[in-house]
Structure 1
Amino acid sequence: MKSKTFAAWLAFLGGPVGLHRFYLHGWRDWLGWLLPLPTLAGAYGVLRMWSLGQDDGLSWVLIPILGFTVAGCCLTAIVYGLKKPEEWNARFNPQAAPDAAAGRTNWATIWAVVLALMIGAIVLMASIAISFQGYFQNQVEEGRKISE
Structure 2
Amino acid sequence: MAEFNWQTALLGGGLIGIAATVLLLFNGRIAGISGMVNGAISLSREEIWRWMFIVGILLGAAVYEYGLAAEATPRSAFAPAAMILGGLLVGWGTRMGNGCTSGHGVCGLGRLSARSLVAVITFLITAILTVFIVRHSIWDFRF
Range into which the TM-score falls when normalised by the shorter chain: 0.3 to 0.5
Q: Structure 2 length normalisation: TM-score?
A: 0.34
Structure (1 or 2) with the larger CA radius of gyration = 1
Q: Structure 1 length normalisation: TM-score?
A: 0.33
